[in-house]
């Protein structure tokens, strides 16, 4: 018996690990209950500085390469003028960046003022847009008052919701992630449905009967029924609406209004539900 176990220990332990992993994946209790293992928080804390460094270096390198390519032609014509132009371009680029940032932040502040709920601003520090999952990491967490299930919005529309938060950062599930489902209304006809992530750039709009009047371009907003997203936030526009094979529900796709691949700053919305979570934390 002992010999058998010793000879097959790798296979036996593999089966144990596989069953344990399947249990975690199928029950999903760690993420949903917010009680992620401490090791997960440690891993996030270790990775966070590297993510900041990579993102900073990537942006800096992008600027340098962009400037260099632009300057190659000018240097051939006039070296001296080229240096001056280079300085001006660098300064212009920096100012333009500042101006862009100011415009974005002004937009966020305007939105924050006009919004009925309190919001917390956060910067996006990492993206995960490949593979099955679509998430973003934010530089704000429990310390700033961000709690799980808080809606995340940008000036263009709904971005997603917080699924994990720790001391100084949080993880948000984008609306395009297959795990995301939002109660929505088509604004023109007030027809209700569920906007579901599909792991691509578009969302599916489910449970809309074939006889309902839905047109390409119709604005889709949150219905406020799920208890997470407040009513009336812009989700996107109808990109296509066709008859489906079952002749009962329409096959509809929504293009999200928020530019999910190019987010830089976002707002976390404090709703009544998330407020109570912050108090509990």
Work out how close the CB of 276 gets to another protein at its nearest, in angstroms, rounded to a whole number: 25
Q: Which residues contact 88 (CB under 8 A, 6 or more apart)?
A: none
Among 119, 125, 154, 166, binds another protein (CB under 8 A): 125
Q: Which residues contact 22 (CB under 8 A, 6 or more apart)?
A: none
Q: Which residues contact 19 (CB under 8 A, 6 or more apart)?
A: none
Secondary structure (DSSP) of 216-252: TT-EEEE-S-SSSSPTT-EEEEEEEEEE-TTSSBEEE
Among 119, 120, 122, 137, binds another protein (CB under 8 A): 137
122 is a contact residue toward another protein (CB under 8 A): no
54 is a contact residue toward another protein (CB under 8 A): yes
Token output for 237: 């526009």
Q: Cα–Cα distance between 76 and 55 in angstroms, integer? A: 33
* Alpha-carbon separation of residue 133 from 20, 37, 130, 172, 277 (angstroms): 21, 20, 7, 11, 25
Task: Determine whether 185 is exposed, middle or buried from the number of CB atoms within 10 Å of its CB (0-12, 13-18, 19+).
Answer: buried
Q: What is the dihedral of CA 154, 156, 157, 158, to 10 degrees?
A: -40
126 is a contact residue toward another protein (CB under 8 A): yes
Site string for another protein, 231-270 (x = CB under 8 A): ------------------------------x---------
Q: Smallest Cα–Cα separation from 255: which of 275, 273, 241, 269?
A: 241
Residue whose CB is less far from another protein, 5 or 72: 5
18 is a contact residue toward another protein (CB under 8 A): yes
9 is a contact residue toward another protein (CB under 8 A): yes
Work out how close the CB of 54 gets to another protein at its nearest, in angstroms, rounded to a whole number: 4
Residue whose CB is less far from another protein, 128 or 240: 128
151 is a contact residue toward another protein (CB under 8 A): no
Among 108, 147, 152, 163, binds another protein (CB under 8 A): 163
Residues that bind another protein in the complex, under the rule CB under 8 A:
9-11, 13-15, 17-18, 20-26, 28, 30-31, 36, 39-40, 43-44, 46-47, 50-51, 54-55, 58, 125-133, 135, 137, 163-164, 171, 173, 178-179, 196-200, 204, 261
């Amino acid at each position: 018996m002992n010999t058998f176990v010793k000879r097959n220990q790798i296979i036996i332990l593999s089966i144990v690990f596989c069953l344990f992993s399947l249990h975690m994946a199928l029950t999903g209790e760690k993420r949903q209950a917010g009680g992620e293992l401490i090791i997960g928080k440690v891993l996030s804390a270790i990775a966070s500085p590297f993510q900041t460094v990579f993102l900073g270096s990537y942006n800096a390198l992008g600027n340098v390469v962009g400037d260099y390519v632009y300057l190659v032609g000018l240097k051939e014509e006039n070296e001296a003028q080229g240096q001056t132009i280079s300085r001006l371009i660098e300064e212009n680029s920096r100012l333009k960046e500042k101006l862009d940032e100011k415009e974005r932040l002004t937009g966020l502040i305007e939105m924050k003022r006009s919004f009925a709920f309190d919001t917390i601003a956060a910067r996006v520090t990492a993206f995960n847009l490949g593979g099955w999952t679509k998430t973003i990491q934010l530089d704000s967490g429990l310390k700033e008052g961000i709690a799980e299930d808080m809606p995340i919005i940008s000036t263009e529309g709904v971005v997603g919701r917080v699924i994990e938060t720790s001391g100084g950062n949080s993880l948000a599930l984008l609306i395009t992630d297959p795990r995301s489902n939002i109660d929505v209304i088509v604004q023109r006809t007030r027809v209700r449905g569920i906007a579901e992530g599909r792991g691509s750039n578009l969302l599916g709009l489910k449970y809309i009967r074939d006889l309902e009047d839905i047109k390409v371009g119709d604005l889709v907003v949150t219905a406020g029924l799920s208890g997470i997203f407040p009513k009336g936030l812009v989700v996107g526009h109808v990109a296509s609406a066709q008859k489906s094979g079952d002749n009962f529900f329409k096959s509809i796709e929504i293009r999200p209004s928020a530019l999910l691949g190019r987010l830089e700053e976002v707002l976390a919305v404090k709703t009544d539900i998330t407020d109570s979570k912050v108090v509990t934390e």
